Amino acid sequence: MFSTKTEYGELDRRIELTKKQKEKLLLVLTNPKIPLHNNPAEIALRETVIKKKISYGTKSENGKTAWENMLSIMDTCRKHEVSFFSYIREIFSGERKMPKLADIIAKKGNIKLPHSIEHIQLLNKLYLFSCLKS
């Protein structure tokens, strides 16, 4: 398949690029835990794109960072079957009946690193805010 030559330069270039990625592309055949699709990533990205289209984006870098962090937390909540709105409400109300997201993730044994340092900083701010409220 990768030795095929066509009369189309761009197609030949694409075949060569695919050949270079062959090992990664076929990894799914040796590791059954690797999903055959990237639907979760596409779904997570779709929310961001739709919000951006509706609101014409954020007005500042801080707004962009805040929105990205909230989407990241929302996606983490969804992946671990935690109500995002209940989670955020508890943080700001100081109730803290629910365990922290980090504890939920660790308990499931599915530890995932936050997407960015800004995400960590936001979680720290939310935690500190909840401590001040209590």
The crossing angle, in degrees rounded to 10, of helices 84-93 and 61-79 is: 120
pLDDT tens, the chain, 134 aa long: 667 778 888 888 888 888 888 887 777 788 777 777 667 667 766 776 777 777 777 778 887 788 778 888 888 888 888 888 888 888 888 877 888 877 777 777 655 544 555 555 566 566 555 555 44
Give the type of residue at 71: L
Token pair recorded at residue 2: 């990768």
Find out whether 124 and 101 touch, Cβ atoms under 8 Å.
no
Give me the pLDDT at residue 134, please.
42
Q: What is the dihedral of CA 49, 55, 56, 60, to 10 degrees?
A: -100
Closest CA to 90 of 122, 133, 55: 133
Domain-wise residue ranges, the chain: 1-36, 37-133
**15's tokens:** 């075949």
For residue 124, the one-letter residue type is N
Element (H, E) at 33: none
Please enumerate, as own/partner, the contacts of 19-25 that have beta carbons within 8 Å and a separation of 24 or more: none
